Amino acid sequence: MVKLTRRAALGTIGAATAMAAMPAFAAERRIRHFWWGNPERDRRTFEVIDLYKAHHPGIEVSGETIGWGDYWTKMATQTAGGNMADLVQMDYRFLFEYVRRGALQSLDEHIGNGLDLSNLDAGPVEGGMVDGKLYALNIGSNTQVMPYNIRLLDEAGVDADVINWTREEFGAACEQITSKTGARGSDDYSLTTENMEAWIRQEGYEFYDAEGNVAAKAEDVAAFWQFWADLRNAGIVADKNKTVMVDASMSDWGIVTGDSAISSCWSNQLVAVQSLTQDTIGAAMLPHKAGGVFGQYIKPSQFLALTRDSTDVEAAVAYMNDWVNDPEATAVLGLERGIPASSVVREALAPNLNEAEKLSVEFFAAVQDKVSPLPLPAPKGAGEVRDAFARTGTEVVLGSMDIMEAAERFVDDAQSIVDRAR
């Protein structure tokens, strides 16, 4: 047995330490990207990661993906633990919160210096700014859309202009579709916050004011519920049991099942809706108040943001740059995350789009000059307000609560939720 002296032992430990440290020089550089996704999005993203690794040898990228529901939980846990991924997918509603808490790094110093934004439209880029500094890179824009079944609308003889239609014209179309085709006119959106918020905007103001308080008047919320209640009671929108179905997935939507002719969603979902729907779909705007504004707006659908825990900023910024400029990467990404902000990328994609993708590009172009400006991000607690809206909406739809009373309670609840979240 070899007898170890103190010195030899120290020497061995020292050498071992040096050995352990050695690979650090030759080690691959490594960045992590974390996003919420679905199988299709994950496939495309991993393909982009492979492209990046091919273009930047020596840099390892690890992709981490999870569904939307668990994404923010994991993100909060990682933020609390100080091990955020270098790059995270960010949503407009959470952007301010994460920036204000110092979880994200500003991208200003990298613009024109690793991050080329020269081909990007100004509007979508500004959506990623907080207090005048850029914190998040737009990787796709979105707007609300009502996909409709072209065949059913034709059969019913609906000739309304579905871009410029009013609430009354929408109701009349539902009536016509139901009486002529047997399918219901539309799904019922009494539980969907975005549709209610657009309604409020059509009344000329935002649901939240600039201080983040609930500005919505109970009578306007009640009018929204009343609008749908009238259609529901006339039997020309989806049955109440379908409307209150917990966690309905896209395959339960009326447009997909054929139970109704019109549904409502985000424009980057058009491709997925078409792939599940037998008939060809068209794209309509939300019906608006006659003589008023349209109420919907173009929203940055997703961002890529650089976190404070990033260790290899240079590699991370190069990765971000590829996402909006690299011809191969942007071709793989396509329109899946929304409409790209870069005009060059849009032109390059145009010749290879399928019908549903063309539809979303055309729809986007058609609504461009009708939409309202991007509202301020919703205050903290807005996610909880959504839950409260669906909860109260369920009682309204099932008729277990008077509409005006429900609207007053919801507005009260919403204000106390944002008060508490401050």
Partner 1 sequence: MKRFLRRNAAGYVFLTPWFLGFFLLALGPILASLYLSFTRYDMIGAPRWDGLGNYEYMFTRDRRFWKALTVTFSYVALAVPARLIMALGVAMLLDKGLRSISFYRAIFYLPSLLGASIAIAILWRQLFELDGVVNDVLALFGIQGAAWISNPDTSLYTLVVLAMWQFGSPMLIFLAGLRGIPKDLYEAAEIDGTSKRRQFFRITMPLLAPVIFFNLVLQTIEAFKTFSSAFIISDGTGAPADSLLFYTVFLFNEAFKFFRMGYASALAWVLLLIIGFFTAITFLTSKYWVHYENERD
Cβ closer to partner 1: 234 or 398? 398
What's the one-letter identity of residue 342? S
Report if residue 394 touches partner 1, rule: CB under 8 A: yes
d(CA 241, CA 248): 11
Question: Which residues, 66 to 85, sit near partner 1 by CB under 8 A?
Answer: 69, 72-73, 76-77, 79-80
Among 395, 405, 408, 415, indicate the residue that binds partner 1 (CB under 8 A): 395
d(CA 28, CA 90): 27
Taken as a whole, the chain contains a residue count of 422
3-state secondary structure at position 139: coil
Alpha carbons within 13 angstroms on the beta-carbon side of residue 23 total 5
Minimum CB–partner distance for residue 246 and partner 1 (Å): 5
Cβ closer to partner 1: 96 or 170? 96
User: Residue 265: what are its φ and ψ, rounded to 5°?
Assistant: -165, -165
3-state secondary structure at position 115: strand
Cβ closer to partner 1: 361 or 390? 390
What's the one-letter identity of residue 232? R
Among 42, 50, 108, 384, indicate the residue that binds partner 1 (CB under 8 A): 384
Minimum CB–partner distance for residue 387 and partner 1 (Å): 6
| Sheet (strand 59-66) strand order | 59-66, 29-36, 87-90, 303-306, 136-138
Among 5, 113, 118, 241, indicate the residue that binds partner 1 (CB under 8 A): 241
Q: Give the range of 243-251, 272-280, 281-289, 330-338 binding partner 1 by CB under 8 A.
A: 243-251
Binding mask 91-130 for partner 1 (x = CB under 8 A): ------xx--x-x---------------------------
Q: Give the range of 178-186, 241-249, 299-307, 352-360 binding partner 1 by CB under 8 A.
A: 241-249
d(CA 399, CA 271): 35
User: Residue 165: what are its φ and ψ, rounded to 5°?
Assistant: -75, 155
Among 10, 150, 245, 290, indicate the residue that binds partner 1 (CB under 8 A): 245
Q: Give the range of 23-31, 135-143, 221-229, 237-245 binding partner 1 by CB under 8 A.
A: 237-245
For the chain, first and last CA: distance in Å? 67
What's the one-letter identity of residue 45? T
Binding mask 401-420 for partner 1 (x = CB under 8 A): ---------------x---x
CA-nearest of 39, 113, 44, 29 to 332 is 44
Chain residues binding partner 1 by CB under 8 A are 69, 72-73, 76-77, 79-80, 97-98, 101, 103, 241-242, 244-247, 381, 383-384, 387, 390-392, 394-395, 398, 400, 416, 420-421
